Every structure is written in structure tokens, then in C-alpha cells.
């Protein structure tokens, strides 16, 4: 199975992709658990797009994803925090 690439997940030019990824991780930087609806609203992206990106980042250990009361919550991991410091 081929790994999805970030351009496909976000769409657009590489600079736009990196900017959106950075925005998403910055929202999560404080380590607090956030619901996916809040993340979508704050970075102004469709839920489907954000879900694909969250799945990608969770697969590689940068985020955790949990379901609570019918809502998806995400939280940055220690590995994700290290990534932000690069």
C-alpha cells in the first residue's frame, strides 16, 4: 500500500500544504486535546480533508486520535512536538 502524499491530502502547492500543516500543528502545540470540528474551523478546511491529514499524522505517531461521545478528538504526541521544533 502506497503512503498518501501531503499534496494529495491537502491539495494545492507545496508552500500552501506546509502552511496548513503548520497551522494545524500550532493549534495542537499546547498538548491539549481538541475536537476535530474546532481544528477544522480554525484552519478553515473541510472536515474530510482534515480527517485524512489527522489519519496520516496519527499513522506516523505525531498525533493521537480518539472518539468520545460521537466526536473525534486529536492531541499532539511527544514525537509531534519534536517535529514542531525542527
How far is 37 from 10, CA to CA, in rounded Å?
17
Give the CA distances from residue 47 to residues 36, 70, 76, 83, 85, in Å, rounded to whole numbers and listed in that order.
Answer: 8, 15, 18, 23, 26
Residue spans of the domains in the chain: they are: 32-86
pLDDT at 2: 46
pTM of the shown model: 0.76
Residue with cell 461521545: 69
Give residue-wise pLDDT tens across range 10-23: 556 666 667 777 88
Give residue-wise pLDDT tens across range 20-77: 778 888 899 999 999 999 999 998 888 988 898 899 899 999 999 999 999 999 999 9
* Residue 34 near residue 73 (C-beta atoms within 8 A): yes
pLDDT at 86: 59
pLDDT at 71: 95
Q: Alpha-carbon dihedral of residues 57, 27, 68, 82, nearest 10 degrees? A: 40
Fold of 32-86: Arc Repressor Mutant, subunit A (1.10.10)
Amino acid at each position: 500500500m502506497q503512503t498518501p502524499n501531503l499534496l494529495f491530502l491537502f491539495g494545492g502547492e507545496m508552500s500552501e500544504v506546509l502552511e496548513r500543516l503548520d497551522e494545524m500543528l500550532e493549534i495542537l502545540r499546547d498538548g491539549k486535546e481538541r475536537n476535530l470540528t474546532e481544528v477544522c474551523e480554525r484552519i478553515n478546511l473541510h472536515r474530510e480533508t482534515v480527517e485524512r491529514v489527522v489519519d496520516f499524522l496519527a499513522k506516523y505517531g505525531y498525533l493521537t486520535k480518539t472518539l468520545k461521545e460521537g466526536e473525534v478528538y486529536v492531541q499532539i504526541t511527544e514525537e509531534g512536538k519534536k517535529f514542531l521544533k525542527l
